[in-house]
Amino acid sequence: MTALDIQISIEEGPWPPETQLEAICGRVLGAAAAFLAREEKQPFPKMPAEVSLVFTDDASIRAINAEWRGQDKPTNVLSFPAFPLVPGKMPGPMLGDIILAQETLVREAAELGKPFDDHLTHLLVHGFLHLFGYDHIDERDAERMESLETGILAGLGLSDPYGDSDPV
């Protein structure tokens, strides 16, 4: 079972209406969960696992990034797993939080020549994978995580966001 309980909070910034975000997030995270269950044999709790999505602005995410990661700058997405999780292990009932910054997403989408919704989709998938213990600190882990992102995005009709670039 891959049911999710998605909690959305729009805190700062000119985000799309909550109903539109709910539709995007439900479709994207539902597809990501189904992909992980199918392709990675990721187990899920019997009850829908909760994920919290916070939509904010650069100033807010900069403060969070400085406090929790020691990086005094805005970033596009931050993920905070509720509990440490190794990929493939059973998560608890609360997956964690994904925080997204509106100005950074808009700027990056323009720089990449992508529609905003496509870039948001990619960052939702990226943040979601972090909640399951995937990371991109070393090259092998980055290749694995990017491969999963690419597979999930392909299932949503989106192209490889990394193209010919090296893993980050």
Q: Would you say 123 and 130 are in contact if contact means Cβ atoms under 8 Å apart?
A: no
Task: Give the whole-angstrom CA distance, residue 68 versus residue 70.
Answer: 6
Angle at 16 between CA 11 and CA 20, to 5 degrees: 110
Domain contains 70: yes
Which pLDDT does position 137 carry in this prediction?
85
Assigned token pair, 9: 């909070």
What does the pLDDT look like over 103-135, one tens digit per residue?
Answer: 999 999 999 999 999 999 999 999 999 999 999
For residue 144, the domain's CATH number is: 3.40.390.30
Residues of the domain holding 75: 4-155
Domain contains 41: yes
What does the pLDDT look like over 90-108, one tens digit per residue?
Answer: 999 999 999 999 999 999 9
Domain contains 161: no
Beta strands in 3-66 (DSSP E): 4-10, 49-56
Domain contains 168: no
Domain contains 160: no
Q: Identify which of 114, 139, 104 has the alpha carbon closest to the alpha carbon of residue 147.
A: 139
Which pLDDT does position 75 carry in this prediction?
93
| pLDDT per residue of the chain (168 residues) written in tens, 0 to 9 | 578 999 999 999 999 999 999 999 999 999 999 999 999 999 999 999 999 999 999 999 999 999 999 889 999 999 999 999 999 999 999 999 999 999 999 999 999 999 999 999 999 999 999 999 999 888 888 899 999 999 999 999 998 887 755 444
Domain contains 78: yes
Assigned token pair, 154: 């392909």
Q: What total number of domains does the chain contain? A: 1
Task: Give the whole-angstrom CA distance, residue 129 versus residue 144.
Answer: 11
Other residues' Cβ atoms within 10 Å of the Cβ of residue 156: 15
Domain contains 167: no
Task: Give the whole-angstrom CA distance, residue 141 versus residue 49.
Answer: 25
Which pLDDT does position 22 carry in this prediction?
96
Task: Give the whole-angstrom CA distance, residue 39 versus residue 47.
Answer: 21
Domain contains 162: no
3-state secondary structure of 113: coil
Task: Give the whole-angstrom CA distance, residue 116 versus residue 112.
Answer: 10
